Structure 1
Amino acid sequence: MKTKLFLALLAGVLLLGACKGSNYEAIRDEKAVSKTDAALANADSTSLETTSTKLVKTADMRFKVKSVQQTGDAIAALTARSNGMVMHHQMQANIEKSEDIRISNDSVKRVSAFSTNADMTVRIPSDKLEDYMTEVAHMGMYVTMRKMDIEDRTLDYLSEKLKLKNRQELVAQQKQGKVIIKNPVNVMLLKDDMVDQQIGNMRTDAEVKYSTVTLSFYQSNTIVQETIANDDPSAYQLPFFKRLAIALSNGWALFIEFMLGMANIWVFIVLAVALWMLYRYYRRKHPAWFVSGIKS
């Protein structure tokens, strides 16, 4: 009986010690987590303070010029001097109205009214954007539209940066065996997200460094006169007497063809004549047959 009581007291003491040990480990883990969270919070605040402002600038301008081609060349040269790059350049001319004036049988003077315009997209260092826009505006006769937009992407940039850091830590723990991701597809998706975030931040850095400028310019309608060959086939006719000689020749050729055709069917012609003569003969010798046939 005493032995059973002693074993019961010993089991109680061991259970109490195990509970204290587990409580101690739990408290120690909570302190570690608290310290980790505090460190992350300090790191996040430090990242927020050290992250530079991410301002993305874009600009648009539409203006009228004297010569679209010369202005396009001047803008390209200015862009090169500003350490920029022309990303898109398109010039086109549309015929607004055209009229043909006949000056001879085979020549026509064509008078056309053209409208010419061009579109350009350039990338300029952001610190030179204002000066660049001012110089481009001076190239035109007048500006019909000019605007500039500034987008602050600082918080978006910081958000992607912190998300990338969290994913990198998760991947590191997965490699060390602290975290187990059972589905390999989830690992690949996680790594793809990390790549997308890195590329997104790199794209933001590039847009912050270089501003995108869209330029559209045009000129007054241009009148162009040119002498071209007449493209109407009916205008190209031979002289009258030559056409008459050709017509007589064609008539003789048709007559010859007709005679040849008749020669090819001479047997049928002879047979038809013989039948007609036979009909006339019987009608003259036996008129009663034909009269009775008509009466019946």
Structure 2
Amino acid sequence: MKTKIFIAIMALALFAACKGRNGAYEVVNNSINADTTGAQSSAADTVVTEPKLVKTANMSFKVKNVQQTGDSISHLTAKLNGMVTHHEMGSTVERSQDVRLSDDSVMRVSAFNTTADMTVKVPSEKLEDFMSSVSHMGIYVTSRKMDIEDKSLDYLAAKLKLKNRSEMVAQQKTGKIKIKDPAAVLWLKDNMIDGQINSQKIDQAVNYSVVSLSFYQSNTIYKERIANDDPSVYKMPFDNRLLMALSNGWFLFTELMLGLANLWMLILLGVGVWVAFKTFKRKYPALKV
């Protein structure tokens, strides 16, 4: 008895939930149930005829010349009807030393390394050929990796959802379903667009594989003769410096004489005081000052 009461309560709850879920729209024609059943059966018959395999790969390797290898990879990608989506190359100075050649010039010796990163898209059926050709461009391969992800179920789910939404919009246009909230119609159409974009993204990922490449070369030594940037080394020869010192000494002497000439009154007064003191001391030797 208790089991029958529990089943009856669960049935009533399920009926109320379904009624509340369908509150956003109302059925105008009872034939929609048959249409919905037919749509579900036709959607179930929709299958992906071929697997949707998304291939990605990456490789790290050492080369003789980074710039030449980057150009070769770009040409190979174009030859295979692919596209380079990212290319970055940079050099970093690890050590540097200046060797003095003369007072005004030095030889700068620098050791720097050069690396590059590239991201390319190539047709998936040519991925193996591309990876093999690129690996032969390097001295040796540090790492090489390829992943394959099956997107068949995701693609099928997107297609089925898009078909169901398309049928609902068609029924709304013919009046079989009346959606009360206009925002719900707009959301449904936007969701259909998102589904189409996602399907196209999967198709594009299946048709073109993304390959990430990272390559580098041995450290390069570069020598260049540059001007000495130390101001203290820029001095005149000894003879010129001696003549300038004598000239500066004569200039200081003349300035001193001119300074004394400006003080002639004080000098004369001092001489007069000194003479008067000597005369007074001579006349009165017994007096103590």
TM-score, with normalisation over the residues of structure 2? 0.73
Alignment of 1:25-174 (within 5 A): 29=30, 32=31, 35-50=34-49, 52-174=50-172
Between stretches 217-226 and 249-258, larger displacement belongs to: 249-258
**Matched position secondary structure for 1:179:** strand
**Matched position secondary structure for 1:135:** helix
Give yes or no for contact 1:167–1:190 (8 Å, CA) kept in 2. yes
Give yes or no for contact 1:100–1:108 (8 Å, CA) kept in 2. yes
Alignment of 1:120-269 (within 5 A): 120-177=118-175, 178-184=177-183, 186-250=184-248
Give yes or no for contact 2:127–2:209 (8 Å, CA) kept in 1. yes
Aligned length: 245
Q: Deviations over 1:18-37 (max 9, x none)?
A: xxxxxxxxxx94xx455334
Which has the larger share of helix?
1
Q: Distance in 2 between matches of 1:223 and 1:174?
A: 74
Q: Distance in 2 between matches of 1:258 and 1:183?
A: 102
Q: Deviations over 1:166-210 (max 9, x none)?
A: 3333333444453233353x4433333222222222111111111
Give yes or no for contact 2:179–2:185 (8 Å, CA) kept in 1. no
Change (3 A) 1:49 1:62: closer
How far the C-alpha of 1:243 sits from its partner, in A, is 2.5
Which residue type is aligned with residue 198 of structure 2? Answer: G
Which residue type is aligned with residue 170 of structure 1? Answer: M
Q: Distance in 1 between matches of 2:200 and 2:62?
A: 36
Give yes or no for contact 1:55–1:151 (8 Å, CA) kept in 2. yes
Q: If you compute each CA radius of gyration, which structure gives the higher value, 1 or 2? A: 1
How far the C-alpha of 1:257 sits from its partner, in A, is 6.6
Which residue type is aligned with residue 181 of structure 1? Answer: K
Give yes or no for contact 2:54–2:149 (8 Å, CA) kept in 1. yes
Q: Deviations over 1:258-295 (max 9, x none)?
A: 7888999x7xx86xx79xx8xx99xx9xxxxxxxxxxx
Q: Distance in 1 between matches of 2:260 and 2:106?
A: 50
The residue aligned with 1:10 is none
TM-score, with normalisation over the residues of structure 1? 0.71
Q: Distance in 2 between matches of 1:210 and 1:42?
A: 33
Give yes or no for contact 2:91–2:114 (8 Å, CA) kept in 1. yes
RMSD over aligned Cα atoms: 3.1
Which residue type is aligned with residue 194 of structure 1? Answer: M
Which residue type is aligned with residue 103 of structure 1? Answer: L
Q: Distance in 1 between matches of 2:94 and 2:172?
A: 68
Change (3 A) 1:254 1:190: farther
Give yes or no for contact 1:174–1:181 (8 Å, CA) kept in 2. no
How far the C-alpha of 1:70 sits from its partner, in A, is 1.5
